[in-house]
Structure 1
Amino acid sequence: MKRINNLILALAGLFAVACADTFEERYDLAVNTDRYSVTAEAGKLPVTVYCSGAWTAQLTAESAWATLDRTAGSGITTIRLNYADNPGLTRSVGVVLRGSGLEKTVTVVQKAGITAPELIFLSKDLAFANGAYKGTAAFETNLPDELLRDVVPAVTYAAEGDAWISDVVYHADDEEAGETEIPLARRGLITFATAANATGEPRTATVGFSVTDADGNVFGDSFTVTQSADEARITLADDVAPIEGGRRAVAFSTNLGALLAEMKVEVTYADPAVADFISDVELGAGELTYAITANEGVEKRYATITVSCADLAGGVVSASSNITQRVTAQPREVSFADLRALFTAEDKSYASDEDHIDYLLCRVIGDAGNPNMDQNLNTGPNSITTDENDCTNYVQSLDGRYGFRLKFAAPADNVCLRGEQVKILLDGVTLSRESDPMRYTLRGLKAGNIEKAAEASALEPKARTIATLTDDDIYTYCALSGLEFSVKEGAYTNVREYDAIGNPCNANLSFAGGTQAQKAKDGAANLLYDGDNDAIYMLVNMNCGWRRTGRSVPQGVGTVSGIVVHTPMERWGGNVGRYSIRPFDEADIDIPRAAASAYATLVEWRLDKAVISVGAYKWNDNGTYTVGSAANSATQLVQNRMHATTDNTGGGARLYSENRMLNQTVTADRSYPIAIVHGYRGLNVSNYVPGDGTTMGMSKYTMLGFLGNVAGWYEWNGDTWTGKTNGIVMEFSTAGVGGSAAAVSFSTAAGKHSTNEAACSWTNASSYPVYWKVEYATSADGATWSDYTEAVNAATGERGFEMRSLPWCINNSSTRTSVFDTANRSGVYTQSDFGFGLVPYRFVLPAEVLGKAKVRVRISPSSDVIATWNPGIDGYALGQTHRNLRIARTYPFDIANGVYVEDLSIQYK
């Protein structure tokens, strides 16, 4: 409105001048206004110049967006300012007018083309480790590049000191920012360099980047750079990817967070032929993510993702993530040797790793249902269970080198048949190791652990001798050569079978009194020896149908095959050697029936029932005996010395006892009695005669009973034991006999018997010394003797043996009490485990016993520990003795007993 009024006044003045020809208006230099505002769109702005003379016009600065259509003139003239579209902030340009010696500036302001100008850094805090690094700060903006190109970023340090940020440069980036709150945004970058931090402390600086529009408004942002005093670090976790693959993330950390986008990521593969299964690797704050395809192979896949970052000096810091991708669990064979190495002293359960189903490939050398797989155990005084045997089987490696015993959870799970090749799935199986000797058992197997791999085929045993057996042979199938039976008469199980575990032979038997068999005896340990004077026990359970065949055992020299085991037989004196052998059946006993031996018999004492009467008798010095009867026992007692029944020494071999009878007056013919007690020697059930007491027993020979009392086996000085013992002595000559070795063999047990065979009963239980030794002494002249030297047990390698209880029962079957129950309750001995049967032994004699005028072999107690009765209520499975009761009474000791011996022989080679 002001402009219009001025114009009217000017026109009125002109009109007045026009009316007066003599008036003329003059203008030195004038414009209608000195400030114009135009829109952001391109256009033309008219500017009228009032000047009476000449004038000029020019822009205050060269401008790419504004031009003048004329730059000079005179008088009143309108010029036009041409302006382009404004894509950026509010901007201005000046038009300088000069004329009539005057100068005026007209300012033209063009409005902003940007609705909401912004510049924002994407990260406000950039972290660096100690070192020289190139940093990049990205921002988003809708400001045009030409506006930012000449802006110099400003660096402000938090603390005084050297400038450690340099080369701060703006870089245009026409890439669109994507989704953002800033309209029409694009990207931009500020790059800079850091210097190494020698201060030992963290430091910070702020970098600002901004522009100011024509109205004085500031648009921009800043970011903070933090540099630690620590060296650069990158850490990256490993990963195990599932079979199905997918998107994965692993932990990632670094103190170079500002350089995250600059870090190099590389994927390498363990097998170049199995590659390219990892893609889309991305680094983010706190994690690295990647994509992995599904593993459709049968092997694990392996890759490595490496993240690295280089500094300006070329140094590199890096870290790697080892990627393992699982595979469907695959069967994997575990060798016997590797599996043995996993056994420890403590039982442990086997577990395959998540990628495998481990199995043991093996050959079955046992047999499900075979009655001779393991020792059956007592579950009560008169009860034995076969579960232990029925749950047991054996396998060995395909080469036969190693073996394992299998213990199934239940008999029904035992499905392994002899000769089969099977896979034992190991998961959940308990690894159980026992030492001295070292042996290995897989326990807790179920039928589901067994997979059949091949049909059964014939087994070939490993060829061994007793001497060449090692712990590695335990639970393997071996053939031991050069063996012969120590007792070549009788059955494979020389025991009174009436007392044995229920079996076809005793199923219908009853004693004369009508009671049933007590079922207390499980098996027998029969002794074999070879030409090297080594011995081993063959273990045969009572449920083996071939334990009695109606004929005696083979009498020659041959091979016995079976599974080598270590089984402490408490019912047979405990220690039956480091190794024993369990045949599958009689076919494993490949010994000729014809008599043969690696040894020559020097002397033996064996009496046959066919020629010896039951009852008292008198042995004559000429080697004959006088048969008597019980009615004449007062005058017909066995004398001190007994002639050998076989004597290859020229005569004079004698057997006698140093033990005296209870309360016996010492006389020449009654001090050391030897009684004849017929054994239990039937070979099959047809030998049984009710009430006869001969039911399927030991060898064909008659036992020799060395009767007396416990104290009689010990030498006394008044009421004090001297520490010396009495024994059973074999005395013979070896004059003129040469060779490399000799041995004494015998079978023995202890307890009480009657000289009347029919009166032999389990009710006649009695105590006896527990630990015994075998000694030898020699005399070159028949008068002067060497000291006794202990002989070595050929089966155990030890000196001495533990005497077995012959009676198995107790004094009173109804009350289960005994005369010693009250006095010695804490040390009572379990007899309820035992059935009739003597234990065969063989002791090695050195070659030095040969060529002597006289030799004595002596069997005597080696300690004062004795066995005592047990009422059968507690501890019925403890075996021979508690081994803690010692002689505490003075002589005479009122416990009658007998030590029974048969099959005595001296051999040499």
Structure 2
Amino acid sequence: MKRINNLILALAGLFAVACADTFEERYDLSVNTDKYSVDATAARLPITVYCSGAWTAQLAAESAWATLSRTSGSGITTIHLDCADNSGLARSVGVVLRGSGLEKSITVVQKAGITAPELIFLAKDLAFANGAYKGTTAFETNLPDELLREVVPAVTYASEGDAWISDIAYHADDTEAGETEIPLARRGLITFSTTANATGEPRTATVDFSVEDANGNVFGDSFTVTQSADEGRITLSDDVVPIEGGKRTVAFSTNLGALLGEMKTEVTYADPAAAGFISNVELGAESLTYDISENTGVEKRYATITVSYTDLAGNVISASSSITQRVTAQPREIPFADLRALFTAEDKPYASDEDHIDYLLCRVIGDAGNPNMDQNVNTGPNSITTDENDRTNYVQSLDGMYGFRLKFASAADNACLRGEQVKILLDGVILSRESDPMRYTLRGVKAENVEKVAGAAALEPKVRTISTLTDDDLYTYCTLSGLEFSVKEGAYANVREYDAILNPYNEGITFASGTQAQRAKDGAANLLYDGSNDAIYMLVNMNCAWRRTGQSVPQGVGSVSGIVVHTPMERWGGNVGRYSIRPFDEADIDVARAEASSYAKLVEWRLDKGVVSVGAYVWNDGSGYTVGNATNSAAQLVQNRMHATTDNTDGSARLYSENRMLNQTVTADRSYPVAIVHGYRGLSASNYVAGDGTTMGMSKYTMLAFCGNVAGWYDWNGNTWTGKTNGIVMEFPTSGVGGSAAAVSFSIAAGKHSTNEAACSWTNASSYPVYWKVEYATSTDNGATWSDWTEAVNAATGVRGFEMRSLPWCINNSATRTSIFDTANQSGVYTQSDFGFGLVPYRFVLPADVLGKSKVRVRISPSSDIIATWNAGLGNYGLGQTYRNVRVARTYPFAIANAVYVEDLSIQYK
């Protein structure tokens, strides 16, 4: 193109010469084009100026990258524009020509040296709290620094109001951006300031940072700034570090997120001498991380990591993380009193702190394998525990002050022997507290929780009396002094084992083995009392080989040692007192064999085979008796009134029933409701072993049956209960008898008497009153007038009255021995009442006021109209008898053979 233009000019020149004589060519100011384009590389651009006269040339503005070869001339002249290399955006420069009175502008555009120009902010949304802060945001770009320095950012506010963003500034950063989509990118920063937000509402603004090239293309980006109305906040969690240390992470949060990079972290150490074990502290958007070295010392290490930011007003916003590094956990003894304080109403597992392995140092006062540690319980209608005893042990503090019951996870875990000193590692053990009385159990103990410290040593029991026992004595080894048995006949477990019920837990055990009741793994409660007229039940399980020894219990006075427990015995009327005692073996029963007592006998009603005369009534023959009738008094052993078998008064003591007649109507063959029951205790010759003192485990004395319709225990006005009851009455004089106290003792239960089977039972068709009371009245005029009835207090429980125990079903035929539920068409359901016969012994305190009277009456009678009804086992399955608040009605179709069975009746005084 240049060659063609030059040729044209040459021809024009020749033509001008040729025609010189004809005319002269003149040019106004002109150029070939008013816009040139050059490459980004350095170049020399020729520009031809056409002008007939003088002309001048100059750049429109000072330029650092373009210069003119000459700035003036005359005529047609070619000048040059020298362009430097362009490393940035497309750029332009203007050349202004003046001549012949004219002015012409030329634009020269140099192409961009950047392949793909770009500017991108790394954070598009910056959040700030209320306050004056300096904000910083980074961008990546390949635009030249000199270009960016000239940019004036534009701020757009979402809402009208004061401009709250100021001091926006660009800061060059030569750091390479690293991996990015922008070719040859580097970093840059924009800083700005915010003012405090007084609006009470969040506010937003947009900051635009961009440039325009010579071709009108815009390159840049924007970011949004949001400021809340909340004050600045930083939170940082604490950390507990294991011994080995390592990389750690703690939670961090702030509403100063846009200022994260400006926050400072600082580590301080509690012990300056140990400084330096924390390093590489890094702050992220949601966490703080750091490295901590292994703790090889014996002390815990402490440090604090603080994160802070100082705003433009000098206010410091900060938070700290307390760092604790553990050491190897050390064994730590927890005293009994301290451990008791950790028990709550809810069971909870024990957990040592991170620095300790806590243990309880104690003495074993129970014994692995001892059969008298605890009672089996019902856990459901068809579920009787058989390992409760074997999983149970007891420990007490070395000084004997406090005790705990241990419930091992399994019987195999229970290997603690009596007298051993052990450590119980507490981690994972369940702390279980029961109240009224307050007692403490460690549950879920495993073999690995127990460390033996010393071998077995003799135990020194605490010496107590019944009245001095407190809740602190529970689960400790105590000796109770001055005790004697309430029933001084029979075995320690004074029950008739022959009639233990066959159920899935003892089936396959033949009667000949003599261990049927033992296999049932149940327990009996035998009553003891002392000279202070206090009583306590001694609990003996049927697996104890010494429960029956072939001779009667000791008949004198002495001491009994054992573990003090609280064990509700539902099969024995439920409440057997706040405290009971469990001996380890017979050696713990240090009671004299020879008969002795703190009390004197006043009267007794007790029958055995050796008694040939009972008051005015005689045996029918040498081996039995014949039930009499209303017209043959000579043949009756017992009528409505019975003489005392032992009478240390004037011989007028009598026992009778106010529930006098069955169905309240005299019948020809059963007018009088008091009868003896043979085949149950001692009157059956086949069950009596001469010189044994017991009959199949029970005392040799027989029962007295107070027979009658259950409605007969209540007084009626037609079919309406009057609120009065009938009772069993002991009447005796105390004239000339003095002393400080008296008591009435008896053993009792209720159910159905079957003469055909010589057994007792109760079913849906037979019932009895549930709640009973004992009361007394006195007369000073030989019975002409009487004082009001006063209720006596149960010596073992401290309450008035008792709950009658039901007698379970039994059949003497071992081949067909079945459960009550089989009889009641409820086959396959077994409960705690499935156990052999045994009357519950009671002792009620009488005041000295009953002494020195011409007549005294002691009365055992119902205290409410609630009667027992059989539950099919699906609810209240754990009770010795169950009832549904059924109330007596005179017309209820009860079986007429109901009875309340009583034995061991006696009146004592001192």
- The answer to which of 181-190 and 365-374 deviates more is 181-190
The code of the aligned residue for 1:487 comes to: V
**Counterpart Cα distance in 2 of 1:67 and 1:830:** 116
How many angstroms does 1:201 deviate by? 6.6
State the partner residue of 1:23: none
Is 2:787 the partner of 1:786?
yes
Q: Is contact 1:477–1:564 with CA below 8 Å preserved after alignment?
A: yes
In the other structure, the counterpart of 2:581 is 581
What is the one-letter code of the residue matched to 2:453? Answer: A
Shift of 1:535: 0.8
5+ residue gaps in structure 2?
19-28
Indicate yes or no: 2:643 matched with 1:642.
Answer: yes
Name 1:795's counterpart in structure 2: 796
Residue identity opposite 2:193 in structure 1: A
Q: Distance in 2 between matches of 1:819 and 1:290?
A: 71
Summarize deviations over 1:325-377 as a string: whole Å, max 9, x none: 999999998887668866657xx785969979998746544333222223346
Whether contact under 8 Å (1:309, 1:317) holds in the other structure is yes
- The 2-side partners of 1:821 and 1:56 are apart by 134
CA deviations over 1:119-143 (Å, ceiling 9, x no partner): 6243473535454433334344555
CA gap 1:788/1:358 in 2 versus in 1, 3 angstroms: farther
Give 1:793-872 correspondences, 5 Å limit. 793-804=794-805, 809=810, 833=834, 835-862=836-863
3-state SS, counterpart of residue 524 of structure 2? strand
Number of the residue aligned with 1:133? 133
Query: What aligned pairs does 1:270-285 form with structure 2 within 5 A after superposition?
Result: 276-277=277-278, 279-284=280-285
1:389-538 paired onto structure 2 within 5 Å: 389-396=388-395, 398=397, 403=403, 405-407=405-407, 411-420=411-420, 421=422, 423=424, 427=428, 436-437=436-437, 445=444, 450-458=449-457, 459-471=459-471, 473-499=473-499, 522-538=522-538
Q: Percent identity?
A: 55
Contact 1:726 1:861 in 2 (8 A): yes
Contact persistence 1:478–1:563 (CA under 8 A): yes
Indicate if the aligned counterparts of 1:601 and 1:906 stay in contact, CA closer than 8 A: yes
Q: What pairs with 1:156-175 in structure 2 (closer than 5 Å)? A: 162-175=162-175
Deviation at 1:792, TM superposition (A): 0.7
Report how far residue 264 of structure 1 moved: 3.6
Amino acid at match of 1:486: S
Residue 909 (structure 2) aligns with: 907
- How far the C-alpha of 1:907 sits from its partner, in A, is 1.8
Residue 844 of structure 2 aligns to a residue in which SS?
strand
2:655 counterpart SS class: strand
Hey, what's the Cα distance between the residues in 1 that align with 2:450 and 2:172? Answer: 72
Structure 1, 868-877 or 311-320: larger mean CA deviation: 868-877
Answer yes or no: is 1:122 the counterpart of 2:110: no
Counterparts in 2 of 1:319 and 1:619: CA distance versus 1, 3 Å: same
Task: Give the conservation status (yes or no) of the 8 Å contact 2:673–2:708.
Answer: no
SS where residue 797 of structure 1 aligns?
A: coil
Q: How does 1:697-736 map to 2 (within 5 A)?
A: 697-699=697-699, 702-703=701-702, 705=704, 709-710=708-709, 714=713, 723-733=724-734, 735=736
Name the CA distance, whole Å, in 2 between partners of 1:823 and 1:80: 128
Shift of 1:465: 3.4
Kindly provide the amino acid, as one letter, of the partner of residue 529 in structure 1.
Y
Equivalent residues of 1:329, 1:356 under 8 A apart = yes
1:375 match: 375
| More off after superposition, 413-422 vs 35-44 | 35-44
Where in structure 2 are the equivalents of 1:751-766 lying within 5 Å? Answer: 762-763=758-759
**Match for residue 192 of structure 2?**
192
Q: Which amino acid aligns with 2:211?
A: S
Are the structure 2 counterparts of residues 229 and 746 from structure 1 closer, same or farther at C-alpha, using a change threshold of 3 Å?
A: closer
Q: Call closer, same or farther: CA 1:686–1:549 in 2, change over 3 Å.
A: farther
- 8 Å CA contact 2:571–2:833 kept in 1: the answer is no
- Scaled by the length of structure 2, the TM-score of the pair is 0.71
**Match in the other structure for 1:776:** 776
The amino acid that maps onto 2:135 is G
Partners of 2:705 and 2:77 in 1: CA distance: 162
> For 2:302 and 2:366, how far apart are their aligned partners in 1?
43
1:526-573 deviation per Cα after TM superposition (whole angstroms, max 9, x unaligned) = 111233322110011222122234554344544323233333334433
Q: 2:752, 2:151 → 1: CA distance?
A: 122
Secondary structure, counterpart of 1:635 in structure 2: helix
Structure 1 residues 462 and 274: alpha-carbon distance in aligned structure 2, compared to 1, 3 A threshold? farther
- Is contact 2:248-2:291 (8 Å) kept? yes
> What residue number does 1:223 align with?
222
The alignment partner of 2:466 has SS state of: coil
The equivalent of 2:616 in structure 1 is 618
Residue type at the aligned position of 2:585:
D
Amino acid at match of 1:841: Y
CA shift for structure 1 position 590: 3.5
Which residue number in structure 1 is paired with residue 26 of structure 2?
A: none
Distance 2:39 2:497 in 1: 127
Distance 1:124 1:879 in 2: 78
CA distance in 1, matches of 2:44, 2:515: 138
> Counterpart amino acid of 1:762?
A
Cα separation, 2, equivalents of 1:266 and 1:565: 60
* SS of alignment partner, residue 230 of structure 1: strand
Cα 1:3–1:330, aligned 2, differ >3 Å: closer, same or farther? farther
Change (3 A) 1:378 1:326: closer
- Structure 2 CA distance for partners of 1:55 and 1:334, relative to 1, 3 Å: same
Residue 288 (structure 1) shift: 3.8
The 5 Å alignment of 1:667-746 reads 680=681, 688=689, 695-699=695-699, 702-703=701-702, 705=704, 709-710=708-709, 714=713, 723-733=724-734, 735=736, 737-739=738-740, 741-746=741-746
Q: Secondary structure at the match of 2:467?
A: coil
- CA deviations 1:817-843 (Å, max 9, x no partner) are 999999999xxx999845454432211
Aligned counterpart, 2:600: 601
- Amino acid paired to 2:616: K
* Alpha-carbon distance in 1 for matches of 2:13, 2:870: 155
Checking the alignment, whether the CA contact within 8 Å between 1:170 and 1:188 is kept in structure 2 is yes
Distance 2:65 2:821 in 1: 130
Check the 8 A contact 1:614/1:677 in 2, yes or no: no
Query: Shift of the alpha carbon at 1:10?
Result: 13
Whole-Å separation in 2 of the counterparts to 1:571 and 1:478: 26
Amino acid at match of 2:119: I
Distance in 2 between residues matched to 1:127 and 1:487, nearest whole Å:
91
Amino acid at match of 2:843: R
Residue of structure 2 in register with 1:21 after alignment:
none
How many angstroms apart in 1 are the aligned matches of 2:261 and 2:843? 87
TM-score using structure 1 length: 0.71
Inter-partner Cα distance in structure 1 for 2:87 and 2:821: 121
Conservation of the 8 A alpha-carbon contact between 1:252 and 1:288 = yes
- Do the aligned residues in 1 keep the contact of 2:615 with 2:645 (CA within 8 Å)? no
Secondary structure of the residue aligned to 2:220 is strand
The correspondence of residues 46-445 of structure 1 with structure 2, limited to 5 A, is 114-116=113-115, 118=117, 120-123=119-122, 125-129=124-128, 131-142=131-142, 144-146=144-146, 148-149=148-149, 152-155=152-155, 162-180=162-180, 184-196=184-196, 200=201, 202-210=203-211, 220-228=219-227, 230-231=229-230, 246=247, 252=253, 254=255, 256-266=256-266, 276-277=277-278, 279-284=280-285, 287-288=286-287, 290-293=289-292, 308-317=308-317, 344=345, 350=349, 361=360, 364-376=364-376, 387-396=386-395, 398=397, 403=403, 405-407=405-407, 411-420=411-420, 421=422, 423=424, 427=428, 436-437=436-437, 445=444
The count of corresponding residues between Structure 1 and Structure 2 is 862
Counterpart of 1:569 in structure 2 is 569
Are the structure 2 counterparts of residues 274 and 859 from structure 1 closer, same or farther at C-alpha, using a change threshold of 3 Å?
farther
Tell me the amino acid that sits aligned with residue 169 of structure 1: A
Q: How far apart are residue 525 of structure 1 and its match? A: 1.5
- Tell me, what secondary structure is at the counterpart of 1:231? strand
User: Does the C-alpha gap of structure 1 residues 733 and 358 become closer, same or farther in structure 2, counting only changes over 3 Å?
Assistant: same
Specify the code of the residue in structure 2 equivalent to 1:603.
Answer: L
Partner SS state of residue 127, structure 1: strand
Task: Determine helix, strand or coil for the equivalent of 1:848.
Answer: helix
Go from structure 1 to structure 2 and tell me whether the alpha carbon gap of 1:820 and 1:785 turns closer, same or farther (over 3 Å shift): farther
